[in-house]
Structure 1
Amino acid sequence: MQAKQSGAAKMDIEGAVALVTGANRGLGKAFVDALLAGGAGKVYAACRQPASHLDERVVPLRLDVMSPTDITAAAKNCPDVTILVNNAGIMLTTPILAPGSDDALRREIEVNVFGVLAMARSFAPLLARNGGGAIINVLSVASWFVNPFNATYCTSKHAALAVTNALRIELCGQGTRVLGVHAGFIDTDMARHVAGPKSRAQDVADQALHGLRVGEDHVLADSSAIEIHDALAADRAAFERGQQSMWDQGASPWTK
C-alpha cells in the first residue's frame, strides 16, 4: 500500500520488544501476530482482561488506557519496550448534534486521544533509554474528514492525528520514530455493523509494520485510505459535498 515518504530512519522488527494496547482481539491481536511473525523478541499484549498466549514471547498485561494507575504500572513493569503500539480505541457512531453527543465525544477523546497521550508520555523516557524505538498510533481515514454519522469519533481522530504529529516533532531529538496508521473500516468488532467492504485486520497490521521498517511517518494501510487520501487531495470541496449529500439522504453506512 501507499505510504507518505519522510526520510525517517528505518527500523527492524527482529528482536524488538513491543507493547500493544487493545491486544485481545481485532486489530490489536493482528498487531501481536504480525510482530511475532516479524521476529519480535517479546510482545506485551495489553488489555483490560489479558489472557494467556500459546507463544512464549507474548506476555499478557493488564492495562486500561483510561487508568493512570495501570499506565504507571505498565511503564514500571515493562522497562524494555522499544515499540509502543497505541491501538486501543472506541467508536460510538454519533452525529455531532445527536442526543448524548457530548458524552460520546468525551468518552472517545478520553480513549482515542488522552489514552494515546498518556501512554506516549509514560513510555517516551523508556524508549529514549532503549535507543529511541518507535510509537505506532492507529489513526483512521476519519482523521482527515468528517463523516456526519460518525462525527464525534472523527473529532477524536482529528485530535489524535494532531497529537501524533506533535509527538513526532517533540521526540525526534531522542531518536523515537512516531508513525500514524490510516485505514478505512476494518473487519473487527468495532465495525461489525458497517455495511460494505472492510479491510482485513492482518493486512493493516502488516502494512503498518512495513511502514516502520522502511521509514515512513504515515501509512495508508488499505485501498480505502489511498482512495480517500487521493480524493481529498484532488478536490476536498467535492468530497465534502459528497458527505453532505449522504447526510441529506440519510445514507448511514451502519446497519442495526
Structure 2
Amino acid sequence: MQHADSLIWISGATEGIGLGLSRNVPYAEARVINLSRRTHPAIESVHLDLADPSSWNAVAAHFRETLAGFRGKRAIFVQNAHLKGMTGFAGEVPAADYARDLTANMVAPIRLGEAYLRAVIDSGYTGEAGLVMMSSASARSPYEGQSVYCAGKAALEMWVRVVRRELLQRGRETIWVTAVRPGFVDTGLTRHVAAMADRDYPVASMLRGQIERGEGVMDIDTAARHIWAALPADRSLLLFGDQVQVDRAGSPA
C-alpha cells in the first residue's frame, strides 16, 4: 500500500497471537507487514529468523528504508515471534540447542526492538511510534524446564521499563514502548509446551488440563482485540488475565 496511514510490523504473524493481531488490526488504510521465516498468505512478508543474526540486520534495514519519508499517522512494531523447540532443564539439554534458544528468544527480541527505535529516531518521524514487546507471566514465575524463556521475558520487561524512561528523559513523547502479558491464549506454542513430558516441564500436565477444560483460555482473535484496544499504552506493562499490576513509571504497584 503506497499511501498507508499506518505502518504495522508484526513478527510471527503467521500463527498464534501474531496471526490474531494481523487479522484484527483496527486502523484503516494500514500497511501490515509480517516478519517471519514463513510467508503470510494474505499480507506482505519480510524474512526473519530469530536464530540468524544476519536476518536481524536485514529487518533493521527494512525498518530504516520503510520509515524514510513516511508521513502517516502511526508506525507500530509488535515483537511477537518466538522460536519453539528447546524445553528442558539447564545442563541437561544439548548445549547447541540451549545456545540457539538464548540467541533466538532472549537476544533477538531486544535487538529487534532497539533496531526499530533507532530507525524511528534516525528517520525523524514525528507521528505516533509504538513498540509492543510480547511477554508472559513467566517473567515473574520460575517454571522448571523454562530457564531461558523465563529469564528472557524478565529481561525484556526490564528493558522496556528502562527504555521508556530513556525516551521520556530525551523528550521523545511521541514514541511509546510497552510489554504485554497476554494471559492464557490457546496457541501452537502453548500446546507445544503442554505436550512436553512432565519430567522436562513439570507444569505441562496442568497446562493440558486447563486447555482441555477451556478454563480461562482465550482464542487468538479475542486476545488480539484486547491488545489492540489497549494501545497506545500509557504503562510499561499491560496485563490480561494476570494479577500483578505495574504503575505508569514501571514499578510494581
TM over 0.5: yes
Q: Say which is worse superposed, 24-33 or 71-80, in terms of deviation.
A: 71-80
CA drift of 1:214 comes to 5.5
Tell me, in whole angstroms, the C-alpha distance in 2 between the residues paired with 1:214 and 1:167.
14
Tell me, in whole angstroms, the C-alpha distance in 2 between the residues paired with 1:216 and 1:20.
20
- Which structure's residues are more often helix, by fraction? 1
Tell me, in whole angstroms, the C-alpha distance in 1 between the residues paired with 2:157 and 2:95.
20
- 1:89, 1:112 within 8 Å by CA — same for their partners in 2? yes
Tell me, in whole angstroms, the C-alpha distance in 2 between the residues paired with 1:182 and 1:100.
27
Tell me, in whole angstroms, the C-alpha distance in 2 between the residues paired with 1:110 and 1:206.
30
Residues 111-161 of structure 1 deviation map (CA, whole Å, 9 limit, x = unaligned): 222111211222112223222501100000000121224333212211222
Residues 26-72 of structure 1 deviation map (CA, whole Å, 9 limit, x = unaligned): 1111111122x33351111110121331xxxx321111233333222
The yes-or-no answer on 1:89 pairing with 2:70 is no
- 1:86, 1:137 within 8 Å by CA — same for their partners in 2? yes
- Correspondence for 2:236: 217
Tell me, in whole angstroms, the C-alpha distance in 2 between the residues paired with 1:104 and 1:185.
26
- Structure 2 gaps of 5+ residues are 196-206, 212-216, 246-253
The yes-or-no answer on 1:125 pairing with 2:118 is yes
The yes-or-no answer on 1:44 pairing with 2:40 is no
Give percent identity, aligned residues only.
17
Q: Note closer, same or farther for the CA distance 1:47–1:148 as it changes in structure 2 (3 Å cut).
A: same
RMSD: 2.5
The yes-or-no answer on 1:69 pairing with 2:54 is yes
Q: Note closer, same or farther for the CA distance 1:130–1:67 as it changes in structure 2 (3 Å cut).
A: farther
- 2:130, 2:232 within 8 Å by CA — same for their partners in 1? no
> So what's the TM-score if we normalise by structure 1?
0.71
CA drift of 1:190 comes to 0.5
Q: Note closer, same or farther for the CA distance 1:40–1:21 as it changes in structure 2 (3 Å cut).
A: farther
User: Residue 127 of structure 1: SS of its match in structure 2?
Assistant: helix
Match of 2:9 among 13, 19, 25: 19
- 1:95, 1:101 within 8 Å by CA — same for their partners in 2? no
Q: Note closer, same or farther for the CA distance 1:69–1:151 as it changes in structure 2 (3 Å cut).
A: closer
The yes-or-no answer on 1:154 pairing with 2:160 is no
Tell me, in whole angstroms, the C-alpha distance in 2 between the residues paired with 1:148 and 1:137.
23
Q: Say which is worse superposed, 99-108 or 110-119, in terms of deviation.
A: 99-108
> So what's the TM-score if we normalise by structure 2?
0.72
- 2:186, 2:220 within 8 Å by CA — same for their partners in 1? yes
- Correspondence for 1:250: none
Tell me, in whole angstroms, the C-alpha distance in 2 between the residues paired with 1:29 and 1:178.
21
- Correspondence for 1:30: 20
Tell me, in whole angstroms, the C-alpha distance in 2 between the residues paired with 1:60 and 1:27.
17
Paired residues in the alignment total: 207
Tell me, in whole angstroms, the C-alpha distance in 1 between the residues paired with 2:236 and 2:156.
14
CA drift of 1:217 comes to 2.6
User: Residue 141 of structure 2: SS of its match in structure 1?
Assistant: coil
| Match runs of 1:185-224 below 5 Å | 185-192=184-191, 193=195, 194-195=207-208, 196-197=210-211, 198-213=217-232, 215-221=234-240, 223=241
Q: Say which is worse superposed, 74-83 or 19-28, in terms of deviation.
A: 74-83
Tell me, in whole angstroms, the C-alpha distance in 1 between the residues paired with 2:184 and 2:96.
23
Tell me, in whole angstroms, the C-alpha distance in 1 between the residues paired with 2:144 and 2:134.
21
Which AA in structure 2 matches 1:130?
Answer: Y
Tell me, in whole angstroms, the C-alpha distance in 2 between the residues paired with 1:211 and 1:106.
35
Tell me, in whole angstroms, the C-alpha distance in 2 between the residues paired with 1:67 and 1:104.
14
